[in-house]
Structure 1
Amino acid sequence: MQRVLTSRSGVLLYLTVWLLLGLGAGGAVAALCDETMLRAQLFAVPASLLFSVAAGFSAYYMCKANPLRERSPAVILVSTLTAAVCAGFFWVFLLGVWNGAAEAFEAQAIAPRPQLVALLFSLGVMLYGLLATLNYLLAEFLRARQAEQRELESKLLARNAELRMLRTQIDPHFLFNSLNSISALTSIDPKRARDMTQRLSDFFRQSLGIEAQGKITLEEEVRLIGHFLAIEKVRFGARLGVEQEVDDAALPCLLPPMLLQPLVENAVKHGIGGLPEGGVVRIEARREGSLLTVSVENDTDPDTPPRKGNGIGLVNVRERLQAAYGHLAKLHCTQENNKYRVALTLPVETKES
């Protein structure tokens, strides 16, 4: 009840309901006591409004003292009936006091008949019982909503923990492959190995800036991919070609940090790395209404068996998409015409939205 009375609209609604009840009680007084409607309303309405305040707070504290989940039904029933009977007597008492006050100010009082007293007593008992029921219903509704909120918060915490765990898998995987490349270059081209080491250091220095962010823009992701490809170009030289086609409308869209980097890494390692003459990695992104579509495609060796798409990088990307977007995001792999393509579809999110 206190939650209802904490807002102006709640107070107005509560008093309006009781005003209507008081008017109804006044009509009963006029009918049973052969009084004019004006005098009957002046007798019933003020006392009804006073009773509404007293009964409302009494029902609230009675329900708070006897919560449904901590008291037996018998205790709750006895407590409610006892309080309701007391409330019925209190309403009759208020009406008597108000009637006596009218006599004290030399106004013509109403002579209450036994039928009227019984009616008002019964009405007070029923209204108090209704208030108690409403308090219990409101308390259960709030408890259910709080439980739902706690469940949502726990799911959010679990999802964020899962995203952080998946995010931490990327750096060791990428670092392992990069160190293998540096190790291979050390004996045949120390200068290129040093260059690659420096670029690798720069890449991780810049990636640390996005570590605390839940999501980054596609523009930032593409920039990081550019640093990664610069590292790989030190190793592959002219064998590695890069083509990018990213719509301007797609650049502000948000996605988990380094979501595309494992796909580009796989394209270089499993695609271009197996071609003696080299090949091209193509990155495309476009926004189509409420969806963002990003694809990474690379040339493949026609004599190489098709990739099954269940490597560490792809599994990681799938799990991150599932954790971040659920069924709203999709990952699809295809291999045809000597090209391997991984396409991502995810809902559009921007910093403004």
Structure 2
Amino acid sequence: MQEISSSRRGAIIYLSVWLFIGCALGGVISLASDAPLANAMLFAIPMNLLYAFAAGYSAYYLCRAYPLGSRRAASIALVLTVAALVSGFLWLMAGRFWNGLCQLLGVAWSGIEFTPQLSALIVGLGILLYGFAAAVHYLVIEFVRAKNAEQRELESLLMAQEAELRMLRTQIDPHFLFNSLNSISALTSQDPKAARRMTLELASFFRQSLGMEAHKKVTLGEEMVLIRHFLAIEQVRFGERLLVEEAIEAEAAACLVPPMIIQPLVENAVKHGICSLPEGGTIRVTARRSGSMLHIRVDNPVDADGPSGGGDGHGIGLTNVRQRLSGAYKHEASIHWGLTNNSFGVDITMPAQAGEQRE
């Protein structure tokens, strides 16, 4: 009963059904006993609304006390049958009492003649309506139970997915930190100023990344600040061999993306592209918004004849990004990569979400 009456719409529908049954009962009484229609309705409608609450709550608590599957079907049927019989006879007694009150009014439009057929009709209808109420409550209880189970399963899935995304994000930091510390160690004796500059950039990088950890999404502009710190660290290592070009549209910069979703791509561009080319090259990061979609591309030159020329060695970073996109956007996001004219490119497409949707 609580599930039905918990919402205004459910309560209105429930009472409307019983009001319709009351009107139908009044019509049957009027036709069967030749009683005036007004008298029959005055008797039937209040009686039916009373039974709606009495039988409704009784059936609800019995359905809760004897849930389906908890006991044998025969035991549940016996309990409900006895309850329906008792309710039917109690409804008959209440009907006789209400009819007596109506007859005391002494006016032409109140009171009806109680016949044995009418008594049998009230008892039989009371039993049927009690069974109907019990069936409705069982359906509602099972529906609510299934809905709650589905919601718990969804919450568990979301928690597992969030834990997986957090694990994928934390895979980035140790690898990058290890490489950076090795570079700083090498530069300490060769170029102390460069080592100091690299240390400061590394501190800025991790300060920025820690600030982003509190959010599931950050703006692309914030992500690019992190990328610039990363590339500044790498430029200390590679010097003039590493050049960077950005083409980030203002609308794209305001869109939300998962934190550190581009950093693995840029790291791959340095590790498998610039690092393998004696003359170095240019890493290009472009982003544009097209309607409801955000398009991001990272390009870098590669040695087509080298071991990573065909894209080998990019697998871990690209798989990481693909899994994170799938976890965050399901089928709405995609990532594609390929080699064209000694240039390796990665394209990301994801829904363009506004900055006010940040979580």
**Residue type at the aligned position of 2:183:** S
Alignment of 1:171 onto 2:177: no
Distance 2:329 2:12 in 1: 43
**Residue type at the aligned position of 1:303:** D
Structure 1 stretches of 5 or more lacking a match? none
Q: Map of 1:1-353 to 2, 5 A cutoff? A: 1-107=1-107, 109-304=111-306, 305-308=309-312, 310-353=314-357
CA contact (8 A) 1:217 1:252 kept: yes
How far off is 1:286 after superposition? Answer: 1.1
CA contact (8 A) 1:89 1:121 kept: yes
**Residue type at the aligned position of 1:65:** A
Per-residue CA distance 1:209-247 (angstroms, 9 max, x = gap): 111211111110011101111111112122111111111
Distance 2:210 2:159 in 1: 22
How far off is 1:55 after superposition? Answer: 0.9
Distance 1:61 1:350 in 2: 49
Distance 1:275 1:217 in 2: 32
Q: Sequence identity of aligned pairs in percent? A: 54
**Residue type at the aligned position of 1:181:** S
SS in 1 for 2:113: coil
Per-residue CA distance 1:184-232 (angstroms, 9 max, x = gap): 3234323212221221122112211111211111110011101111111
SS in 2 for 1:352: helix
Deviates more, 1:62-71 or 1:103-112: 103-112
Change (3 A) 1:301 1:11: closer
How far off is 1:110 after superposition? Answer: 2.2
How far off is 1:284 after superposition? Answer: 0.7
TM-score w.r.t. structure 2 length?
Answer: 0.93
Distance 2:338 2:291 in 1: 24
How far off is 1:94 after superposition? Answer: 1.6
Distance 1:110 1:63 in 2: 35
How far off is 1:309 after superposition? Answer: 5.2
Change (3 A) 1:40 1:144: same
How far off is 1:143 after superposition? Answer: 0.3
Structure 2 stretches of 5 or more lacking a match? none
SS in 2 for 1:242: strand
SS in 2 for 1:344: strand
How far off is 1:323 after superposition? Answer: 2.1
Distance 2:5 2:350 in 1: 45
Change (3 A) 1:130 1:303: same
Deviates more, 1:323-332 or 1:216-225: 323-332
Distance 1:102 1:311 in 2: 85
**Residue type at the aligned position of 1:44:** A
Distance 1:302 1:165 in 2: 33
**Residue type at the aligned position of 2:291:** G
**Residue type at the aligned position of 2:352:** V
Change (3 A) 1:342 1:104: same
How far off is 1:310 after superposition? Answer: 4.2
**Residue type at the aligned position of 2:121:** L
Change (3 A) 1:281 1:54: same
SS in 2 for 1:174: helix
